[in-house]
Amino acid sequence: MELLHVDDADDARLDDYRSLTDTALRAAREPEGGLYIAESAKVIARAVEAGHHPRSVMVQRRWVEGMRDLLDTVDVPAYVVPDAVAEAVTGFAVHRGALASMHRPSLPAVADVLADASLVLVLEDIGDHTNVGAAFRAAAGLGADAVLVSPRCADPLYRRSVRVSMGTVFQVPWTRMPDWASAVADLHGAGFDVAALALSEDAVTLDAYVARRPERVALVLGSEGDGLSRAAIESADTVVTIPMSGGVDSLNVASAAAVALWALKS
């Protein structure tokens, strides 16, 4: 691969990497241009192994030799930049050696994602990218077959989500629901019991639900502050709660996902 040395932070070839700060991109979902940013050699390699295609790579000068094997696997421009240029372009201190501008793959239909699944994690309106990434990591490590995300849920392919997930967003089948009603219809049509994880007077405990675990389960978790919407709770077949102690009423959403998935894995 030809390495292209770029020393000017205003060089237009670096525009894919410009202004990547959380403040600028926190509300972005599937941004225009069909691109996402993969950060670090490990994450880039996992994305490529999953069939995703890079458009370019920006690598810090001091990391080039250690990344030659990866760079040789992708036939795209590799822009080599000093640390100061990387930070000036992105808006943050880049510590992981490389960023890749990746073409965003087309998302499958909800029904296609559900076809071979028996345990699905559904994320409703979770706005924190770190929690989304952690939930995907739990899904991958604890036996979920797929993940559905709501229209207002943070982008699983945002660089922080990808990094926190340790690249598992590339191995767990997932898609974004067009709307809640149609997704619930698809879940029920495929024979899923929709289990809303929430605090409710009529909720059953997680251990009681596991004792009568349906064959196909869709576990639904809501946003960090407000929890699940009323529509999500009312459309669920079962409301499930994790019994707590010590005066604590609930767990972080990603922690709750991990506990429930561990309990539900067959």
Supply the pLDDT for residue 171: 92
* Residue-averaged pLDDT of the chain: 90
What are the residues whose beta carbons fall under 8 Å from the beta carbon of 157, sequence distance 6 or more?
36, 102, 104, 169
Q: Supply the DSSP string of 89-148, one letter for each residue.
A: HHSS---SSEEEEEEPPPPPPHHHHHTT-SEEEEE-S---HHHHHHHHHHHHHTT--EEE
Least confident window among 45-49, 177-181, 230-234, 243-247: 243-247
Supply the pLDDT for residue 28: 47
Alpha carbons 154 and 131: distance in angstroms, whole number: 9
Would the pLDDT of 37 be above 80? Answer: yes
Q: For a pLDDT cut of 70, what percent of the chain falls above it? A: 94
- pLDDT band for 34, please (50, 70, 90 cuts): confident
Contact 136, 147 (CB under 8 A): yes
Supply the pLDDT for residue 26: 46
Query: pLDDT tens for residues 149-185?
Result: 999 999 999 888 998 998 999 999 999 999 999 999 9
Alpha carbons 206 and 204: distance in angstroms, whole number: 6
Task: Please name the amino acid found at residue 122.
Answer: V
Q: pTM value?
A: 0.87
Supply the pLDDT for residue 227: 84
- pLDDT band for 68, please (50, 70, 90 cuts): confident
**Pick the residue with more confidence: 126 or 245?**
126
Unique residue bearing structure tokens 């979920």: 144
Query: pLDDT tens for residues 23-33?
Result: 444 444 555 56
